Amino acid sequence: MKKAAAISALGALAQDTRLDIFRLLVQKGPAGVAAGEIGERLGQPLPTLSFHLNQLRFAGLVTSRRESRSIIYSANFDAITGLIAYLTENCCGGQRECCIPAATQKRIRRVSL
């Protein structure tokens, strides 16, 4: 991931409504959610929502597809894994792994036994 893409993604996530949208889409997985349903859940006016969805889309964090009259948004999982890799790149000089989340560390530890 390039720096500009990382800043764009981080900036897109650094906002109340957009963070809610993104986490909702992460949890929903590839099936995604229609714009209108996102608006209902988050209680935001549609134009405001549309603005935020665009920010997320420009940042590469979500993709959209039309399905009849609805537009379905879903999270771009490659973008989030790429962002995490960028942030933790060469962590502690590459000598130790200090940046792996607890949940993942637990898995690795368990499997390693």
Partner DNA sequence: ACTTTAATTCAATATTTCTATAATTATGGA
Partner DNA sequence: TCCATAATTATAGAAATATTGAATTAAAGT
Q: Please tell me the count of residues contacting its own copies according to CB under 8 A.
A: 44
Q: Is 96 in the site for its own copies (CB under 8 A)?
A: yes
Site string for its own copies, 62-81 (x = CB under 8 A): ---------------x--xx
The answer to whether the beta carbons of residues 58 and 18 sit under 8 Å apart is no
Of 9, 21, 53, 79, the one binding DNA by CB under 7 A:
53
Q: Which of 36, 41, 91, 106 binds its own copies (CB under 8 A)?
A: 91
CA triple 6-11-12, angle to 5 deg: 100
How far lies 51's CA from each of 67, 83, 111, in Å?
20, 22, 44
Burial-class residue 42 by CB neighbours within 10 Å (0-12, 13-18, 19+).
Answer: middle
Q: Which residues bind DNA (CB under 7 A)?
A: 11, 14-17, 34-37, 39, 44-55, 64, 66, 68-71
